Amino acid sequence: RAHPDTVVDIEVLNCIFADDRNAQQMLLKKFTSQADDIAAQFETAFTQHDMEQIRFHAHKLKSSARTVGANLLADLCFALETAARNEKWEEINILAGDLKPAVDRVRDFIKRL
């Protein structure tokens, strides 16, 4: 079992794709592209103080991250989504700065696979 602090839990992908490395790589490539787009949309929503869009983009990225085993990123997105749902701007303000670096860590990890 992967260490809980692992950037991407490869076992999640192995459960979905068994030994199909090509399918894993395709999913990861698609994820990184989507994650960059969602993070950019999140940043726009954050700049505009748009709670509903912050919640929406955090939820969307959380689901995608969980699918590929990027659990730390998914947990961060869950915290952002919850803070937005509860309209806790101070919390969002603290967490939002961690989103891009978290996406970057996942992308860098995936590149090294």
At 3, the pLDDT band (50, 70, 90 cuts) reads low
Q: What is the pTM (predicted TM-score) of this model?
A: 0.92
pLDDT tens sequence across 13-55: 888 888 788 999 999 999 999 999 999 999 999 999 999 999 9
77-111 as b/e: b if 16+ CB within 10 A: bbbbbbbbeeeeeeebeebbeebeebbeebbebbe
- pLDDT score of 13: 85
Residue 57 has pLDDT above 60, yes or no: yes
- pLDDT score of 1: 46
Contacts of 38 (CB under 8 A, 6+ apart): 57, 60, 61, 64
